Amino acid sequence: MTTSRSAKCEISFSVNGERKSVRVYPMERLLDVLREELNLTGTKEGCGEGECGACSVLIDGVLVDSCLIPMGQLAAANITTIEGMASNSRFARLRDAFLECGGAQCGICTPGMILAAAHLLERNPAPSFDEIREGLSGNLCRCTGYIQIIEAVAEAARRIGAK
Amino acid sequence: MKSNPADYELFAPESLRTAVSMMAENPRQWMPIAGGTDVMVQYAAGVLKSRKLLSLWNLAELRRIEVLANEVRIGAASTYTDIRRNEMLGCEFPLLVRAASWTGGIANQNRGTLGGNIVNASPAADSLPALLVYEAELILASAGGERRVAYVDFHTGYKKMQLAPDELIRAVCLPRGAAGYLSYARKVGARNAQAISKVAIAALAKVEESMISDVRIALGSVAPIPIRLRETERFVRGKGLDAAMIGAARKAAISEIQPIDDIRSTARYRSTVVGNLVQEFLQSLGANR
Amino acid sequence: MLYGATVRSRIPRGRIKKITFGPAVDWREYVVVSAQDIPGKNYIALIEDDQPCLADGAVNHPEEPILLLAHPDRHALPKAVAAIEIEYEALPAIFSIDESERKDQIIWREDNIFKSFLIEKGDVDGVWAKADYIVEGEYFTGAQEQLYIETNGMIAAFEEHKGITVWGSLQCPYYVHKALMALFGLTEDKVRVVQTETGGAFGGKEEYPSMIAAHASLLAMKSGRPVKMIYGRAEDMAATTKRHPSRTRHRTAVSKQGKILGGEIEFVIDGGAYATLSSVVLSRGTIHAGGPYYWPSVRIRTKAVATNVPPHGAFRGFGAPQALFAMERHIEKIARTVNLTSDEVRRRNFLRPGQTTTTEQVIKEPIDLVKLLDRGLELADYQAKRKRFARQNLSSARKSGLGIGAFLHGAGFTGSGERYLSSVVGVEGAADGGVTVLVSSTEFGQGTNTVLCQIAAQALGLPYDDVTIAQPDTSEVPNSGPTVASRTAMVVGNLVASAALGVKQTLIATGKLHQNYTAGEFRAACREFVATRGKLQSLARYESPEGIFWDDQKYRGEAYAAFAWAVYVAEVTADLSTYSVTVNDFVALQEVGRVINPVLARGQIIGGVAQGIGFALYEKVEWRDGRMANSQMTNYIIPTSADMPTIRVFFEELGNQHGAFGAKGIGELPMDGPAPAIVNAIEDALGVPFDSAPLLPEEILSVMTSHAANAESESPAGVR
């Protein structure tokens, strides 16, 4: 019995503002294509089942877990990874706040946390602590216990609002 | 990641019409995938049975929420975020919006769909008890046309449903008329977010002159499918709110369910908690009069 | 590069009868490694050298590695693993401490016992007659998964002339180095281990990486190509080490003033199928079993026993959380028995300076635990809230309570351990005038890089940015010991300071740098030295302080160079409609010698408290025939951001003559307090004692139901 093999296809999309075209099987995971085809290793695999959020990216500005996205659904999509956040207006404040407040320890959850925080602040510029908790509840961290991350996001929000 | 992408096809049709004709032309070949929050987990675990996936993600006809005079039609590929954002749903169908907010984290809510939740048919699915108490109807589409099924009849057994191999859910219809009902819902999970429910309850009641004129109670995670507590409802309907009635209703609820011991919880815990929540629901009606 | 995968045992115990490679796979495409391919000795060198690298005939736990496969396409591996059929002759397996003790099955050496300890202090047998009360209790803790967000991973390369190089996510490069030398029969210059950026560890990457490094290396050797092995989450959870489950039995002689006169403590941990680090975990649990209390006499009998589950291993706290959970639950029982408040019983029994611990170590520092407790209670508003809750609880289905966890944590290796490690640290002046720290101590989020650079900078009077730290690479850095036991800031930091001073002294001795130099002058002198004379490096080796005495036979003496002390207070609410417990507020107060970096220190405490909350309320391993059945993040539950209470962290500093700039170790300390504080709080809220962790709602319901049933059956007939 032979399994009929699928065919690779050409998928064009943009990553961090750059047009990309990859030749991949449609059921390859976005996470793997980012890391292995495009060498964007800032996006991490923590669980492969959409629980830990370490693989978070933005697709058309919307926060998703890239381990759950098949390439075949991404024609013409605009993807932002942590590498692309440098041009995000909120990023510098988030980065500084994370550094000052101890929001990163080992750093593995940090790319996902930053993306989830940026996604939250775009929609809710002055979130309460509970709203920040909810916004980050899909991103697991094992090092920090979350408190200094939440404080960092709150501080970043204050600074962004104060400018 | 236990599956080999080379073994899988995924096709993204441009329209619903293309999708249903493909399913008609190739019976039992194509498995629909919308947001992928269930299918991709099975895929990564190496347990996805189908090798051919038909993407319904972001098809416009499946992702709109239409408000009509007598019902709201939620496109089956509406995400939980779409549902949470919809003000009208928040006003008239708060239990569904609340269930959407309980499903996974923000990233899951941005991709997970109502149709996917229904078809994946986990007895623990968060939205399904709300659909039962709102007495939802499903519009099923195929190349041959459309038909409507009462949601309460849709699930026939564990992961078995009234969905022909060439059919998709097109929309979930919620009859408007639950205004004036008091509503109650709770999800009991292992933690405050991103938890699969151990017990989930959604309930509506109409209280007129200290008497419960109508009541609807639905539970998840206590049977192979989400269920309405018909016996308990029959008992409660028409009664006044007193401690004796509530105690008896509690017992009736426990006797209507068949919870199991599984990796997440125990039958005994589920039974006891169901009793507690039905009691809490009925007691809250007294307070909200 | 090839990718590697592991074929693992499906049964808990038995013999391999036959291995069949299925027909649907073209095996020529794969590299296959079995125990026969091991050039040196087939074990992972650690302490007992009993754990095979690959099973050779006998299997002793589910997930035990049997074969290794490699292939250029990693997607081709899962189906190949699934296509290998292994026939076993199953043997009866044991899964609990009780079964192991019964010895119906002997699964390890002669008696299933990896290690045992006995501590005897004072006249234990004489106290019972003097006791007003004899209080007994039995306490349990379950396994806990470290759940670092980055799974175990390793890349290995093998070249005939160079030997083996591995790059991986790990805590202890020299542990891996030692293990690979033994496995391959290679000399130390033919093995090179490099730590890559590591996404969390918590002890879970202390000993386990030697196993995955061995596997990747064997595949690399056999194939002649570099091999990458990254575990999937389910494999990592099911196959690698977890915290040792424990059972503790206390029997205590108590006076009616609530003073401990003496007692017996029996502490047993489940080590899984092979010894790994169980003897050391046991050691720490043994020494901490008496808590922060004065025991005039005590007998502490402890053992680590074998079961047919994947070997348990290091996890933050390392035996202390288990033993301290029992002690802090038991002190509550003592208080109930003598009818005093538990805070008062603690006050009356706390160790005071001049008194001796259970190992007869004299407390020499001016620690005032009564004052620490009082401060902790004040910060938590303990007395007022308890009164208020007692009233409110009467008429609410949501019952609140407060609980205390008072404890100590010894930092560094036990007794003569640090002398045995004989750690070496280097500091080197760089060509650009900056300074580099050379240690094998690794960064995995706890702040090694930052703190050691701070210490070097401070020792030399240089700005922090002038100091760098080398990537831990066994071909480049000396062995500063494993990154474990909360020793890095305290012990290694001290050596960094010494080595830094060595560099300073060398430069001053050249006459080109005077004593009160500026940073710019230092840089210039350093640059010149390196340009004209070459290498500017100073090494510092650990020297045991004078007057530290430890008897390994009697387990008596100075167990640790320093203890940190803590009082944690948890406030919880139990919802009796769902039996779920929420922690509303948490006070973490600790004396830590000296806080080197306030933000990092607070982060360590909060992170440890979060893991402790998981240990107390959420993290239950569901065992089925020796295998972890809930090996997914979706059903092994750790707290999310939505589950964390307010955590208020406070430090006190008494200094520490044996630690860098007065620091004591703090990495593991916060793991010890939360579980007992929370379970004590739950008992306070519900009026029912609970003797195990984790305490899930199902267990709370079960205990409350049988407690109510017992209460009913005990009430005299006719009395309602």
Q: In the CATH hierarchy, which fold is given to the domain comprising B182-287?
A: Enolase-like; domain 1 (3.30.390)
Which neighbouring-strand residues pair with C589? Answer: C567, C650
Nearest CA in chain C to A143: C607
Give the C-alpha separation, C631 to C629, whole Å: 6
Give the C-alpha separation, C649 to B218, whole Å: 44
Q: What is the pLDDT of residue A163?
A: 63
Q: What percent of chain C has pLDDT over 70?
A: 99
Within an 8 Å CB–CB cutoff, is residue C618 touching chain B?
yes
Give the C-alpha separation, C252 to C291, whole Å: 13
- Among the listed residues C640, C665, C476, the one whose alpha carbon sits nearest the alpha carbon of residue C565: C665
Cβ neighbour number for residue B194 with a 10 Å cutoff: 26
Within an 8 Å CB–CB cutoff, is residue B14 touching chain A?
no
**Cβ contacts (< 8 Å) between C622 and chain B: which residues?**
263
Q: What is the pLDDT of residue B178?
A: 84
Q: What percent of chain A has pLDDT over 70?
A: 97
Give the model's confidence band at C718: pLDDT under 50 very low, under 70 low, under 90 confident, else very high: very low
- Among the listed residues A32, A35, A27, A15, the one whose alpha carbon sits nearest the alpha carbon of residue A76: A15
List the single residue in C148, C634, C641 with the smallest CB-CB distance to A133: C641
Nearest CA in chain B to A68: B40
Give the C-alpha separation, B173 to B67, whole Å: 10
Q: What is the pLDDT of residue A90?
A: 86
Q: What is the pLDDT of residue A4?
A: 56
Query: What is the pLDDT of chain B when averaged over all its residues?
Result: 96
Chain A residues within 8 angstroms (CB to CB) of chain B: 3, 5-7, 24-29, 32, 48-51, 53, 56, 62-65, 67-70, 72-73, 75, 116, 119-120, 134-135, 137-139
Helices (H), C296-341: 320-338
Give the C-alpha separation, B35 to B55, whole Å: 9
- Among the listed residues C218, C273, C246, C213, the one whose alpha carbon sits nearest the alpha carbon of residue C11: C273
In angstroms, the separation between the Cα of residue C600 and the nearest Cα of chain A is 6
- Cβ <8 Å between C640 and A140: yes
Query: What is the pLDDT of chain A when averaged over all its residues?
Result: 95
List the single residue in B7, B108, B194 with the smallest CB-CB distance to A6: B7
Give the model's confidence band at B210: pLDDT under 50 very low, under 70 low, under 90 confident, else very high: confident
Query: Is the confidence at residue C547, as pLDDT, over 80?
Result: no
- Cβ <8 Å between A73 and B106: no
Task: Using the structure block, give the residue that is written with the tokens 């191999």.
Answer: B165
Nearest CA in chain B to A69: B36
Q: What is the pLDDT of residue B287?
A: 74
* C41, C180 Cβ separation under 8 angstroms: no
Q: What is the pLDDT of residue C717?
A: 52
- Among the listed residues B172, B171, B152, B153, the one whose alpha carbon sits nearest the alpha carbon of residue B216: B152
Name every residue whose Cβ is closer than 8 Å to that of residue B14 and which is 6 or more positions away in sequence: none
Nearest CA in chain C to B281: C577
Which neighbouring-strand residues pair with B200? Answer: B187, B220
Q: Token pair for residue C232? A: 């999937």
* A134, C228 Cβ separation under 8 angstroms: no
**Cβ contacts (< 8 Å) between B3 and chain C: which residues?**
75, 78
Give the architecture (CATH level 2) of B7-55. Answer: 2-Layer Sandwich (3.30)
Query: Is the confidence at residue C720, as pLDDT, over 90?
Result: no
- Chain A and chain B share a number of CB contacts under 8 A equal to 108
List the single residue in C199, C602, C646 with the smallest CB-CB distance to A106: C199
- Cβ <8 Å between C641 and A51: no
List the single residue in A26, A64, A139 with the smallest CB-CB distance to B110: A64
**Cβ contacts (< 8 Å) between C232 and chain B: which residues?**
1-2
- Cβ <8 Å between B45 and C234: yes
Reported ipTM exceeds the 0.90 cut = yes
Q: What is the pLDDT of residue C23?
A: 96
| DSSP single-letter state for residue C110 | T
* A136, A84 Cβ separation under 8 angstroms: no
Query: Is the confidence at residue B96, as pLDDT, over 80?
Result: yes
- Among the listed residues B272, B129, B125, the one whose alpha carbon sits nearest the alpha carbon of residue B201: B129
Q: What percent of chain C has pLDDT over 90?
A: 97
Average pLDDT over residues C639-643: 95
List the single residue in C149, C633, C647 with the smallest CB-CB distance to A145: C647
Task: Tell me which amino acid residue B279 is.
Answer: Q
Give the C-alpha separation, B133 to B155, whole Å: 15
List the single residue in A100, A101, A106 with the smallest CB-CB distance to C198: A106
Give the C-alpha separation, B37 to B49, whole Å: 16
Cβ neighbour number for residue C211 with a 10 Å cutoff: 26
* B50, B87 Cβ separation under 8 angstroms: no
- Please state which of the four CATH numbers 3.40.1260.10, 3.30.70.270, 2.40.40.20, 3.30.465.10 is assigned to the domain occupying B60-175: 3.30.465.10
Give the C-alpha separation, B282 to C621, whole Å: 36
- What distance lies between CA C45 and its chain's CA centroid? 20
Give the model's confidence band at A1: pLDDT under 50 very low, under 70 low, under 90 confident, else very high: very low
- Among the listed residues C40, C39, C37, C93, the one whose alpha carbon sits nearest the alpha carbon of residue C64: C93
> Domain A88-162, CATH 1.10.150.120 — does that match?
yes
Query: What is the pLDDT of chain C when averaged over all its residues?
Result: 97
- Cβ <8 Å between A5 and B7: yes
Fold matches, A9-85 and A88-162? no
- List strand residue ranges (DSSP E) for C471-599, in order: 536-541, 550-551, 556-557, 562-575, 580-591
**Cβ contacts (< 8 Å) between A140 and chain C: which residues?**
149, 633, 638, 640
- Cβ <8 Å between C640 and B265: no
Neighbours of chain A (3+ CB pairs under 8 A): B, C
Q: What is the pLDDT of residue C339?
A: 98
In angstroms, the separation between the Cα of residue C5 and the nearest Cα of chain B is 11
- Among the listed residues C15, C11, C19, the one whose alpha carbon sits nearest the alpha carbon of residue C69: C19
**Cβ contacts (< 8 Å) between A120 and chain B: which residues?**
106
Q: Is the peptide bond before C72 cis (omega within 30 degrees of 0)?
A: no
* C295, C285 Cβ separation under 8 angstroms: no
**Cβ contacts (< 8 Å) between C197 and chain A: which residues?**
107
Query: Is the confidence at residue C719, as pLDDT, over 70?
Result: no
- Cβ <8 Å between B263 and C630: yes
3-state secondary structure of C598: helix
CB burial readout A103-112, b (16+ within 10 A) else e: bbbbbbbbbb
Give the C-alpha separation, B252 to A18, whole Å: 62
Q: What is the pLDDT of residues C431-444, one digit of tens each?
A: 999 999 999 999 99
Q: What is the pLDDT of residues B161-190, one digit of tens each?
A: 999 999 999 999 999 988 789 999 999 999
- List strand residue ranges (DSSP E) for C486-598, in order: 536-541, 550-551, 556-557, 562-575, 580-591
**Cβ contacts (< 8 Å) between A64 and chain B: which residues?**
107, 110-111
Average pLDDT over residues C678-695: 98
Name which CATH class applies to A9-85.
Answer: alpha beta
List the single residue in B2, B263, B277 with the smallest CB-CB distance to C622: B263
Cβ neighbour number for residue B24 with a 10 Å cutoff: 16
* A52, A139 Cβ separation under 8 angstroms: yes
Helices (H), C68-187: 77-82, 97-102, 127-130, 173-184
- Cβ <8 Å between C635 and B263: yes
Give the C-alpha separation, C271 to C345, whole Å: 34
Q: What is the pLDDT of residues C606-634, one digit of tens each?
A: 999 999 999 999 999 999 999 999 999 99
Q: Token pair for residue C554? A: 């009697």
3-state secondary structure of B257: coil
Q: CA–CA distance from C250 to each of A110, A135, C74, C222, C326 (Å)?
A: 44, 45, 52, 53, 8
List the single residue in C76, C640, C698 with the smallest CB-CB distance to B191: C640
Q: What is the pLDDT of residues C179-237, one digit of tens each?
A: 999 999 999 999 999 999 999 999 999 999 999 999 999 999 999 999 999 999 999 99
List the single residue in A140, A143, A145 with the smallest CB-CB distance to C609: A145
Q: Token pair for residue C294? A: 């004065």
Give the model's confidence band at B58: pLDDT under 50 very low, under 70 low, under 90 confident, else very high: confident
Q: What is the pLDDT of residue A2?
A: 42
- Among the listed residues C395, C709, C437, the one whose alpha carbon sits nearest the alpha carbon of residue C576: C395
In angstroms, the separation between the Cα of residue C608 and the nearest Cα of chain A is 7
Longest dimension (CA), chain C: 99
Nearest CA in chain B to A133: B193
The full set of domain ranges for chain A reads: 9-85, 88-162
Burial (0-12, 13-18, 19+ Cβ within 10 Å), B19? buried
In angstroms, the separation between the Cα of residue B52 and the nearest Cα of chain A is 9
Q: Token pair for residue C184? A: 């391959």
Q: What is the pLDDT of residues C89-125, one digit of tens each?
A: 999 999 999 999 999 999 999 999 999 999 999 999 9
Q: What is the pLDDT of residues B264-279, one digit of tens each?
A: 999 999 999 999 999 9
Give the C-alpha separation, B250 to B217, whole Å: 12
Q: What is the pLDDT of residue B42?
A: 98
- Among the listed residues C175, C300, C216, C201, the one whose alpha carbon sits nearest the alpha carbon of residue C555: C300
- Cβ <8 Å between A49 and C233: yes
- Cβ <8 Å between B273 and C79: no
Q: Token pair for residue C400? A: 């609140």
Query: Is the confidence at residue B34, as pLDDT, over 50?
Result: yes
> Domains plus CATH for chain C?
2-91+146-239 (3.30.365.10), 94-144+242-355 (3.30.365.10), 379-410+561-720 (3.30.365.10), 417-541 (3.30.365.10)
Q: What is the pLDDT of residue C487?
A: 96
Task: Using the structure block, give the residue that is written with the tokens 């929309």.
Answer: B171
Q: Token pair for residue C607? A: 């992170």
- Cβ <8 Å between A147 and C200: no
Question: For chain C, what is the radius of gyration of the CA atoms?
Answer: 27
List the single residue in C79, C576, C642 with the smallest CB-CB distance to B193: C642
* B197, B273 Cβ separation under 8 angstroms: no
Return the ∠ at Cα B61 (arms to B55 and B63), rounded to 5°: 75
Q: What is the pLDDT of residue B288?
A: 61
